[in-house]
């Protein structure tokens, strides 16, 4: 009888630990993908091993370089004059709630953080034509902090379509 009670208790203990594994496992990022979307960098991600139902906030960091070109204002014809501006990427902080399995699927944006240049002559417009990001981190800044580091030298570039 005593052996049966101990066996039942051990089985219940193992089952309860097994069901709580997603919440008690260390949080980690998966499927992190960065792509340009207009002038912004869109970072999609999945984070597993967080507390189910808990709210989590995310941000990112990196640098950006954006190339601008002069266009004729009347005909919108491109001219050979170009300028590349470098600066920090400004994060778009997002908040998500973990699902019942302790998983968050989400995205953040990084935006260029510099003044729009004014280098074209009269009757010409400044137009953004290309952007390159060097993302550095993706951060879940709810304790305990979880950080995803992009590989050194990561560069994500894309054309910016003129309006």
Q: SS3 of 14, please? A: helix
Predicted local distance difference test score (pLDDT) of residue 18: 37
Angle at 150 between CA 57 and CA 159, to 5 degrees: 95
**Domain definitions of the chain by residue range:** 27-159
Contact (Cβ atoms closer than 8 angstroms) between residue 160 and residue 82: no
Q: For all residues of the chain together, what is the average pLDDT?
A: 86
Residue 159's φ and ψ, nearest 5 degrees, are -75, 145
* pLDDT category of residue 25 using cuts at 50, 70 and 90: low
Predicted local distance difference test score (pLDDT) of residue 3: 42
Q: 5-36 burial by CB neighbour count: b if 16+ within 10 A, else e?
A: eeeeeeeeeeeeeeeeebbeeebebeeeebeb
Contact (Cβ atoms closer than 8 angstroms) between residue 101 and residue 80: no
Q: What is the pLDDT of residues 35-50, one digit of tens each?
A: 999 999 999 999 999 9
Percent of the chain past pLDDT 70, that is, above it, reads 83
pLDDT at 4 over 50: no
């Amino acid at each position: 009888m005593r052996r049966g009670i101990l066996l039942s208790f051990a089985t219940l203990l193992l089952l309860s630990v097994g069901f709580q594994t997603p919440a008690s496992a260390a949080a980690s990022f998966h499927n992190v993908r960065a792509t340009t979307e207009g002038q912004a960098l869109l970072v999609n991600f999945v984070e597993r091993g967080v507390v189910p139902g808990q709210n989590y906030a995310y941000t990112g960091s990196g640098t950006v370089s954006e190339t601008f070109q002069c266009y004729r204002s009347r005909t919108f014809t491109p001219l050979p004059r170009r300028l590349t501006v470098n600066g920090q990427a400004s994060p778009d902080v997002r908040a998500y709630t973990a699902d019942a399995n302790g998983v968050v699927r989400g995205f953040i944006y990084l935006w260029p953080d510099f003044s729009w240049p004014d280098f074209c002559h009269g009757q010409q417009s400044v137009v953004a034509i290309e952007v390159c990001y060097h993302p550095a981190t993706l951060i879940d800044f709810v304790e305990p902090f979880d950080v995803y580091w992009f590989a050194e030298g990561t560069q994500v570039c894309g054309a910016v379509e003129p309006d």
